């Protein structure tokens, strides 16, 4: 195997990815962790190379920001799998691989003699990952990210309290992302199992099942209680409507108060902050907050059963809203986080990238593009490894690493 990033978590592993929007994130995650990921494109290039927006507003297969994002750290070879000579090259490539990731229409690779069954005997340590609509033993109807989210259920749970407004889909290829996020840890587990067994295996990921398993409470409520959840603005979808959690802060920014204080330590912390700000006289819920000292913990299911608990809980929420009327969103966010209370500013993507916490962790990743002689900002990794650092390089040009195929022939 070829070591690309010798001190990275997955250096030494080779992954073959058949280019598809459905599995691109899985390959990206492995590549940025150090695996040598070779994306196999058709001669004309992956369809996503033609997707807007384009860097510099220049429509070019090498300028698609979609391609740039989903294919960092990968290598690209171009093959026509319908042609015998390229099919043989693909076979030779797979014989050197640890992992294959594909989201091809059911039956296509089998018809070409290039599916899992054809490789498991000759490369018995190969881990083959297939991402399809219903799984390999189901049907393969036409689908998009939107239809998968609708059919799988997440779209039903996303939106506003006003149900006159249609549901809101998850943005950014959420159905495809969800399937890839299930695929990647499955691949890592299979690689670990292979360490002792010396055997590969087939990982069969269903896009639809992945979306349905990620509906939070919706499927569980229906299967166990025949109750339908209702979508709620910035809150969990539940059969009953819960308390509104969005407020507008002194600077006009919107803020999600999340879960207010629920134990005596949090109530004390909130009261102390109000005292530090010298706002006790103005804060009408302050006196009720003192009653929070009676509660080791207020469970959400207890609010209707214990009137005092419900009143104290509500006072905590009102106190946060009171502070939001006097503080800007970032100061409220930091203050509540420091006191152990979950909350969040409603950010736009560019605002999130500029958040001091993200910047300090090095989340905005600067990647150099030599053809443009400039760097571009990419979202980085949500994790940091102390000994095997994550890093990313630019997405490959079409067929940039075609020489890999020549090396196999030699």
293: buried, middle or exposed (CB in 10 Å: 19+, 13-18, 0-12)?
middle
Q: How many Cβ atoms from other residues are within 10 Å of residue 252's Cβ?
A: 8
d(CA 292, CA 283): 16
Q: What is the pLDDT of residues 244-274, one digit of tens each?
A: 899 999 999 999 998 889 999 999 999 999 9
The pLDDT of residue 215 is 87
Tell me the pLDDT band of 306, cut-offs 50, 70 and 90. Answer: confident
Q: Which of 108, 100, 119 is nearest to 82 (CA)?
A: 108
Bridge partners, 131 (sequence order)? 205
pLDDT at 371 over 90: no
Bridge partners, 366 (sequence order)? 377
Helices marked H in 15-144: 24-32, 65-70, 84-94, 108-111, 116-119
- On whether the CB atoms of residues 381 and 391 are closer than 8 A, the answer is no
d(CA 174, CA 29): 15
Average pLDDT over residues 69-89: 97
d(CA 261, CA 341): 7
Average pLDDT over residues 330-342: 94
Indicate the helix (H) or strand (E) that contains 154. helix 154-157
- On whether the CB atoms of residues 370 and 54 are closer than 8 A, the answer is no
Tell me the pLDDT band of 2, cut-offs 50, 70 and 90. Answer: very low
The pLDDT of residue 304 is 76
d(CA 219, CA 211): 11
d(CA 81, CA 85): 8
Three-state DSSP state, 255: strand
- On whether the CB atoms of residues 315 and 330 are closer than 8 A, the answer is no
Q: What is the pLDDT of residues 193-209, one digit of tens each?
A: 999 999 999 999 999 99
> Which sign does the torsion angle of CA 353, 159, 180, 56 carry?
negative
* Percent of the chain predicted with pLDDT > 70: 98
E-assigned strands of 199-340?
202-206, 230-232, 235-238, 246-248, 254-256
Query: Mean pLDDT over all residues of the chain?
Result: 93
- On whether the CB atoms of residues 85 and 380 are closer than 8 A, the answer is no
The pLDDT of residue 4 is 47
Average pLDDT over residues 320-346: 95
- On whether the CB atoms of residues 17 and 103 are closer than 8 A, the answer is no
pLDDT at 310 over 70: yes
The pLDDT of residue 384 is 87
Q: What is the pLDDT of residues 202-233, one digit of tens each?
A: 999 999 999 999 988 899 999 999 999 999 99
pLDDT at 278 over 80: yes
- On whether the CB atoms of residues 30 and 180 are closer than 8 A, the answer is no
Which of 162-188 are b and which e, b meaning 16 or more Cβ less than 10 Å from the residue's Cβ?
eeeeebebbeebbbbbbbbbbbbebbb
The pLDDT of residue 111 is 97
- On whether the CB atoms of residues 44 and 32 are closer than 8 A, the answer is no
Average pLDDT over residues 319-347: 95
Tell me the pLDDT band of 407, cut-offs 50, 70 and 90. Answer: confident
Q: What is the pLDDT of residues 33-52, one digit of tens each?
A: 999 999 999 999 999 999 99
Indicate the helix (H) or strand (E) that contains 38. strand 36-41
The pLDDT of residue 5 is 63
CA distances from 93 to 15, 41, 79, 267 (A): 10, 13, 11, 61
Residue found by looking up tokens 């803020």 in the block: 255
pLDDT at 377 over 90: yes
Q: How many Cβ atoms from other residues are within 10 Å of residue 69's Cβ?
A: 17
């Amino acid at each position: 195997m070829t070591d690309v990033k010798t001190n990275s978590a997955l250096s030494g592993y080779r992954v073959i990815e058949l280019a598809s929007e459905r599995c691109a994130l899985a390959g990206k995650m492995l590549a940025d962790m150090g695996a040598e990921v070779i994306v196999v494109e058709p001669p004309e290039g992956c369809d996503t190379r033609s997707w807007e927006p384009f860097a510099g507003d220049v429509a070019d297969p090498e300028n698609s920001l979609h391609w740039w994002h989903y294919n960092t750290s990968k290598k690209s070879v171009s093959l026509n799998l319908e042609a015998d000579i390229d099919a043989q090259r693909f076979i030779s490539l797979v014989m050197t691989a640890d992992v294959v990731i594909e989201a091809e229409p059911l039956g296509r690779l089998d018809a070409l003699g290039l599916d899992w069954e054809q490789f498991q005997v000759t490369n018995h340590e190969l881990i083959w990952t297939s991402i399809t609509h219903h799984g390999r033993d189901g049907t393969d109807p036409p689908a998009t990210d939107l239809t998968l989210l609708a059919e799988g259920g997440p779209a039903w749970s996303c939106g506003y309290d006003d149900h006159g407004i249609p549901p809101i889909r998850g943005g950014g290829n959420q159905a495809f992302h969800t399937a890839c996020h299930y695929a990647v840890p499955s691949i890592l587990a299979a690689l670990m199992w292979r360490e002792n067994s010396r055997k590969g295996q087939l990982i069969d990921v269903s896009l639809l099942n992945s979306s349905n398993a990620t509906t939070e409470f919706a499927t569980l409520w229906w299967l166990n209680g025949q109750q339908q959840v209702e979508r709620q603005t910035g809150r969990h979808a539940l059969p009953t409507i819960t308390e509104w959690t969005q407020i507008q802060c002194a600077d006009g920014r919107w803020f999600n108060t999340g879960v207010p204080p629920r134990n005596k330590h949090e109530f004390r912390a909130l009261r102390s902050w109000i005292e530090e700000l010298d706002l006790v006289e103005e804060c009408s819920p302050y006196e009720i907050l003192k009653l929070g000292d009676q509660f080791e913990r207020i469970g959400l299911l207890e609010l209707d059963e214990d009137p005092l608990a419900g009143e104290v809980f509500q006072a905590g929420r009102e106190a946060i809203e009171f502070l939001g009327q006097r503080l800007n969103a970032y100061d409220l966010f930091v203050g509540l986080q420091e006191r152990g209370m979950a909350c969040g500013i409603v950010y736009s993507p560019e605002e999130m990238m500029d958040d001091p916490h993200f910047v300090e962790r090095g989340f905005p990743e600067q990647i150099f593009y030599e053809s443009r002689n400039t760097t571009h900002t990419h979202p980085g990794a949500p994790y940091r490894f102390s000994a095997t650092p994550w890093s990313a390089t630019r997405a490959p040009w079409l067929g940039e690493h075609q020489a890999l195929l020549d090396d196999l022939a030699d």
